[in-house]
Amino acid sequence: MTDTPFVIAGRTFTSRLIVGTGKYPSHAIMAQAHAASGAEMVTVAVRRVNISDRSKESLLDYIDDRIFILPNTAGCYTADDAIRTARLGREAGLSHWVKLEVIGDERTLFPDNEALIDATRVLVKEGFIVLPYTNDDPIACRKLEDAGASAVMPLGAPIGSGLGIQNANNIRIIREFSKVPVIVDAGVGTASDAALAMELGADGVLMNTAIAGAEHPVQMAEAMKHAVIAGRLAFLSGRIPRKMYATASSPLEGVIGT
């Protein structure tokens, strides 16, 4: 079975892996990891310029020109702040795409669904391509889609937790319900988590800490590239059903000594 292209809001991506730009040991390692991951879209955060210390080099100098930059609204706890941040990101980046985050709780960084849906509605009206980071809740995802989201990005587990997909069944249901792309965002710890997300039918996976925080980020980026490809192929290939007991792979006839 041949794959369909990965298209978000009319833009086609060859790679189904989206990666972050935070928490790398250095900008140079980040750039190498991006290249190794094969990602064509990376997320960035929007923050105040450090007025007193202008010496810091710009992140953008280390992002390949061919990579599409997706600003996020991380750290926003209200719809208003997220909307303001999205508008600033658009102005700074000259793109009208946003990874929309409205966080509801500091410890879990779980999204505030109600505020997220409100902010999605407002930003879609302003012409944004909105990719909301959401709970792994099929109903919330449906409401986000109705509000005009161009994709839904359910979490696999809390941000930076590395716990892997906690509710595989919900991801499967979200895929079944959604007409827009489903991107599993957050919670990936290692390659098998990314592969599982794709095997469940996700259209893409977004991760940051799993790569940036690994002992060898560039190698892990490459592992993630392969995991996403492998998971996608496995999904398309139609896996065998799970059975309680063995079914022999070798012929039962002609065994010697019988």
Partner 1 sequence: MTITLNGERFELDSPKSVAALLAQLDIDPRRVAVEHNLNIIKRQTFSDVLIGEGDSVEIVNFVGGG
Catalytic residues: 99
Does position 72 interact with partner 1 (CB under 8 A)? The reply is yes
Beta bridge partners of 129: 97
- CA 15 to CA 71: how far, in whole Å? 19
Does position 66 interact with partner 1 (CB under 8 A)? The reply is no
Does position 159 interact with partner 1 (CB under 8 A)? The reply is yes
Please write down the long-range contacts of 134-141, taking CB distance under 8 Å and 24 or more positions apart: 135/110, 135/111, 136/166, 136/167, 136/170, 136/171, 136/174, 137/113, 137/170, 138/170, 138/173, 138/174, 138/177, 140/113, 140/116, 141/174, 141/177, 141/178, 141/182
C-beta of 18 vs 173, nearer to partner 1? 18
Does position 43 interact with partner 1 (CB under 8 A)? The reply is yes
Residue 210 exposure: Cα atoms within 13 Å on the Cβ side? 32
- CA 94 to CA 117: how far, in whole Å? 24
Among 1, 51, 244, 246, binds partner 1 (CB under 8 A): 51
Give least dist CB 109 to partner 1, A.
Answer: 11
Q: Of 80-109, which residues contact partner 1 (CB under 8 A)?
A: 84, 87-93
Among 9, 29, 35, 59, binds partner 1 (CB under 8 A): 59
C-beta of 96 vs 172, nearer to partner 1? 96
Q: Which residues bind partner 1 (CB under 8 A)?
A: 20-24, 30, 43-49, 51, 54, 58-60, 69, 71-72, 74, 84, 87-93, 159-160, 186, 206-209
